[in-house]
Amino acid sequence: MIIIIIIPVEHTPDVFSDKMVNFSNMIRYHSDFIFVFGLVAFLAQLQLLHLLRYNATIAMLGTILRKSAGDILAYAVIAWLVFLGFSSVAALTFWNMKDYSTFGQVVICLV
């Protein structure tokens, strides 16, 4: 989502001047807007899930997920270990490349 701000003509810099336009405030406000918008969307999803809790099919799905939480957690741990092993191999193999010079960069590139 892009926010467009209309600036009056008297506040715009001259094209041939040496002054630079500072967009840091606008970037910060846009970042804050995205954060608040995401938070509101998350809260709306929680309310929707709370309303769907009274549906029998959704209640059964919640029960199944609650009972299988241990198996899902075990799978997530094993998948994370495999991913870390793959990242370690990539870091050791491509250590001289700029994008893969540190383990953190390798993990970020592979995600």
Phi/psi at 49 (nearest 5 deg)? Answer: -65, -35
Q: How far apart are CA 48 and CA 26, in angstroms?
A: 33
The per-residue pLDDT for 25 is 86
The per-residue pLDDT for 15 is 59
What are the tens digits of pLDDT across the range 35-62? Answer: 999 999 999 998 888 787 777 887 888 8
Consecutive H or E run containing 71? helix 69-93
Distant-in-sequence, close-in-space partners of 102: CB < 8 Å, separation ≥ 6: 91
Q: Number of C-alpha atoms within 13 angstroms, CB side, residue 76?
A: 6
Q: How far apart are CA 18 and CA 81, in angstroms?
A: 54
What are the tens digits of pLDDT across the range 1-34? Answer: 566 666 555 555 555 566 677 788 888 999 999 9
What are the tens digits of pLDDT across the range 61-103? Answer: 888 989 999 999 999 999 999 999 998 888 888 888 887 778 8
Of the two residues 105 and 75, the one the predictor is more confident about is 75
Helix ranges, the chain (H): 24-52, 56-67, 69-93, 103-110
Q: How far apart are CA 29 and CA 31, in angstroms?
A: 5
pTM of the shown model: 0.49
The per-residue pLDDT for 14 is 59
The per-residue pLDDT for 105 is 84
The per-residue pLDDT for 10 is 58
